[in-house]
Amino acid sequence: MGKVTLEAACASEVRMDAKMDGNEWKDAVVYPLELVSLRNDCWTEEKVRNVGETLHEKGNVRLLWNREALYVGVDMEDSDVFNDGTQDQTHLYNMGDTIEIFIKPENENYYWELYGTPNRLRSVFFYPSRGYLFVPSVMRCSVDISIDVWVDGTLNDWRKRDRGWNLLMKIPVSMLEQYGCPFTNEGRWTIFVARQNYSAYLPLKELSSCPALPKPDFHLYENYARLHLNGPK
């Protein structure tokens, strides 16, 4: 089975506005997030029935690009928007709602793992290869990405039911090209977008991704989507 392809529409200017209601988004393809099952052999039948095997809170991914940056926009349903993190450049996915973006040249070993949260925190991890997983030095990076966030509801108050949140991340081309691979279609870039969804109103933390993953391992870069950069219209 071949790789899934995600298309990034070309936009000469992109406003850093997480509502994503500007004209620059009209040509962006909408890709749904899909459930990443956490089910395992330790689950009882009762837990399987309670958690279910469908995505409770949906989301979508859109991509734009220009010679300055790649823009990844995610809109999400969310009954309980929160993240307890207080600092950039930490393992934010352990602290609450987080969007994770992985981007890798297909023919290189290195790749990035990028985080954004509803309380506007960011992390940039760089792996020279997957052989560097969990090594502290991967966190010693400049936080060159920018994010904007829109929350439809409250933040960090589980007693009030929320409706959702959006995240827009700007990834500079200069960051991606610093090790020699051009940010072009000839560079054969791949991308993976994942969501960690914590909620007081769900029976379990919910993972979802674009493209879909066969296992809950976000470092399965063999299953990342090919990124296609569309030209200007």
Domains in the chain, please, with CATH?
5-229 (2.60.40.1190)
Mean pLDDT of 144-172: 98
233 pLDDT tier (thresholds 50, 70, 90): low
Q: What percent of the chain has pLDDT over 70?
A: 99
**Residue 190 burial class via C-beta count within 10 angstroms: exposed 0-12, middle 13-18, buried 19 and up:** buried
Residue 214 one-letter amino acid: P
Of 40-44, 65-69, 95-99, the range with the lowest mean pLDDT is 40-44
- 65 closest CA partner among 108, 6, 106, 114: 6
pLDDT, tens digit, 9 for 90 and up, residues 68-84: 999 999 999 999 999 99
pLDDT, tens digit, 9 for 90 and up, residues 94-109: 999 999 999 999 999 9
Q: What gap in Å lies between CA 154 and CA 168, rounded to an integer? A: 18
Task: Please state the three-class secondary structure of the chain as a single string.
Answer: CCCCEEEEEECCCCCCCCCCCCHHHCCCCCEECEEECCCCCCCCHHHHHHHCCCCCCCEEEEEEECCCEEEEEEEEECCCCCECCCCCCCCHHHCECEEEEEEEECCCCCEEEEEECCCCCEEEEEECCHHHCCCHHHHCCCCCCEEEEEEECCCCCCCCCCCEEEEEEEEEHHHHCCCCCCCCHHHCEEEEEEEEECCCCCCCCEEEEECCCCCCCCCCHHHCEEEEECCCC
207 pLDDT tier (thresholds 50, 70, 90): very high
What is residue 40's predicted lDDT score, i.e. its pLDDT? 87
What is residue 2's predicted lDDT score, i.e. its pLDDT? 67
What is residue 41's predicted lDDT score, i.e. its pLDDT? 85
